[in-house]
Structure 1
Amino acid sequence: MKTSTLTKLAAGLSLAGLSFTAAADAVTLNLVSFTPKTAAVSAGFEKFVAAVNEEFEGRLHLNWRGGPEVMPPFRLADAVRNNSLDMALLSPSYYSGLVPSSTTSNLSFKNYEEILESGYYDRMTEIHADRGLNYLGEIPASDVQFFLFFKDRIDGLDDLKGKRIRVFPTGLPFIEALGANGLVLPIGEIYTAMERGAIDGFMQGNLGWAEQYEDVVNYYLTPSFYRAGFSVLVSDRALGRLSEELREELTDYVRYTLGPELDRSWDEVIAAGNAEVEAAGFEEIALDNEEAERYLQTAIDAAWEYMAGQIGNDELTAELRAMLVD
């Protein structure tokens, strides 16, 4: 028995040594997200990091350093392009100044697999490369859509005219097309702006924040609109540390295996967000069929008309819209 135990111990140490060597040989890439690790939306980022680390164990390791406390979100894309950060997980709208067409990924009602089949992600890889960025793919969340939240009651689209509504950059054309005044503000400033009356409402996904806004929000408008998806950008220097084989495997895995799985993984997070909204006592204001149809059509048409001006290429705009909408 003693010999057997020692043999097992020696074998265990040997395997541990091999494991340590493999881990030491793995390429470690540091990444930062545009949201804190504790944010509800970061659940998708956590799954992404864990899945990649498991799939490529011993060859590649992603070290998620954190979110805005590590680097301001609007600096992430530049940091990747300048090789001061290996990888970033961020909202497309946060680097639309570098890649104007990046935000088109939100302007759709299709799911990830439908968009993947259209060739959209391959096209975005080419577009990003033209701007000095490496686009690995998307952490999709097609069922994470957006709503308008208000303190005072809104009974229809006419009531939106003149309202001051916080938006993220992608949503600005839609809000302005509704006759409201859009203000681009970081998420962290929404509460104070609502509390002080600087804004009447805000555009936001419905994930894990409602409890914090109970005293400044009473209503939300439906139907929801757009889709969520988060870009994965990698620096030249980081890619240069990976073999060509590993790069190809990583891209294929992220796009064709992990992407669809992640897109189907949001049910619990969305359900928790809905439960929190209900617990906070927010009242749904549902537009009637005619107004709802006009609302959603305005969301698409206004956004894509704006994108045409930002992209500055009617042919490219039409190509991307066909992949995402038509």
Structure 2
Amino acid sequence: LGTVYSQSFISFIERVNMEAAGVVRINLLGGPEALPTAEQANAVRSGIVDMIYGPSSYYPGDVPETDAFVGGNVPPAELRENGGMALLNEIHQQKLNAYLLSHPEGSLGFHIYLTQLPVLDAAGLPNLDGLRVRGAQLYREFFMGLGATYVSIKVPEVYTALERGTVAGIGWPSVGLMDLSWDNFLTHRIDPHYFQGDIVILVNLDRWNAMDEIARNTLRELGLAHEQRSYAVFTDLGLEEDAEMQRRGIEVVTLSDAAAKKYRRQAYETAWARLKSRDDTHYEALRRLFYREE
């Protein structure tokens, strides 16, 4: 629970318990050590736990539509206005028996970090041929499209993999890398970022419906406030960590405008193609609400 992400969730819990005292109370059970990440979505579905916090990309088999988060570039505030969040909430209720309460840290982007200077091809895009790059499943197709060999390694094992040279790079959000000391081995970061943060707070739907209207409204308001607050906090944190990362010696390789546009488009399209192949029922609606051409 020592990461900047866990601390953000803890701050939400503390605010709920303070501002909604006597109406709603959240008891934190722990993180992956208490309930393995892969089991958390099923736990909230079945009511083993009432609430979870984490990336929606951890349960793509249950709700493939969560690719709209990473494949989107529309900020959370606008998704609240245009109906995007409402649609994804409805889908969560149908498929996961969960209420989508909040989409915090929505200002996050993702970067490729390497242990060496990346080679750029004739179009100015990164050529990662021959490089083993660690990432989450949601990066797989994007990394392979750049020529990399995609490697799946659990987060606690990444430090050793970098230390031993087992991997030559990683995909990671714009915040939190230094908390894990991976900057001891990484030397370059590719800009711009790709994808958008997909962290969510879910509530078991049966538990949600069992709450009275006052409790639901209170929690809904505090969830929205946290979504807005964390967006601003992580925007500032990203700028601070960028400066510190460069101070520590990580060089930023910034793609040309034309290459950057193609790079980001290539990333987005992998997410939308994956969603369409898994379940295209809401593909057109989600793409229209979550993504705008750049």
What TM-score do you get using the length of structure 2 for normalisation?
A: 0.89
Give the counterpart of 1:163 among 108, 131, 138.
Answer: 131
Q: State the one-letter code of the partner of 2:227.
A: G
Q: State the one-letter code of the partner of 2:42.
A: D
Contact 1:218 1:283 in 2 (8 A): yes
1:288 Cα shift? Answer: 1.7
Give the counterpart of 1:73 among 34, 37, 57.
Answer: 37
Q: State the one-letter code of the partner of 1:251.
A: R
In the other structure, the counterpart of 1:39 is: 3
1:242 and 2:206 correspond: no
Matched ranges for 1:8-157 at <5 A: 37-156=1-120, 157=125
Gaps spanning 5+ residues in structure 2: where? none
Q: State the one-letter code of the partner of 2:152.
A: V
| Deviates most, 81-90 or 130-139 | 130-139
1:312 Cα shift? Answer: 3.7
Gaps spanning 5+ residues in structure 1: where? 1-36
Q: State the one-letter code of the partner of 2:47.
A: N
Structure with higher RCO (Cα < 8 A, 6+ apart): 2
1:276 Cα shift? Answer: 3.4
Contact 2:128 2:146 in 1 (8 A): yes
RMSD (Å) for aligned C-alpha atoms: 2.1
Deviations 1:169-210 (A, max 9, x none): 222222122232222332222222222332221100132332
* SS in structure 2 at match of 1:175: helix
1:100 Cα shift? Answer: 1.0
Contact 1:146 1:206 in 2 (8 A): yes
Contact 1:207 1:269 in 2 (8 A): yes
Matched ranges for 1:122-271 at <5 A: 122-156=86-120, 157-210=125-178, 212-239=181-208, 241-255=210-224, 257-271=225-239
* SS in structure 2 at match of 1:88: strand
In the other structure, the counterpart of 2:291 is: 325
Alpha-carbon separation, structure 1, partners of 2:126 and 2:3: 34
1:225 Cα shift? Answer: 1.6
| Deviates most, 189-198 or 281-290 | 189-198
Alpha-carbon separation, structure 2, partners of 1:179 and 1:310: 24
Q: State the one-letter code of the partner of 1:284.
A: V
Q: State the one-letter code of the partner of 1:56.
A: A
1:252 Cα shift? Answer: 4.3
Contact 1:45 1:139 in 2 (8 A): no
CA distance 1:269–1:301, shift in 2 (3 Å) = same
In the other structure, the counterpart of 1:22 is: none
1:275 Cα shift? Answer: 3.6
Deviations 1:46-89 (A, max 9, x none): 23212322331111111122211211111111111121111100
1:281 and 2:249 correspond: yes
Higher gyration radius (CA): 1
| Deviates most, 171-180 or 67-76 | 171-180
Deviations 1:87-121 (A, max 9, x none): 10010101111111123212222221111112111
The percentage of counterpart residues that share the same residue type is: 25
What TM-score do you get using the length of structure 1 for normalisation?
A: 0.81
Q: State the one-letter code of the partner of 1:182.
A: Y
Q: State the one-letter code of the partner of 2:272.
A: W
Superposition misfits of 4+ residues, deviation over 6 angstroms: none
Deviations 1:151-172 (A, max 9, x none): 1110323521342211112222
In the other structure, the counterpart of 1:26 is: none
Contact 1:177 1:302 in 2 (8 A): no
Contact 1:207 1:272 in 2 (8 A): no
| Deviates most, 221-230 or 211-220 | 211-220
Alpha-carbon separation, structure 2, partners of 1:301 and 1:273: 28
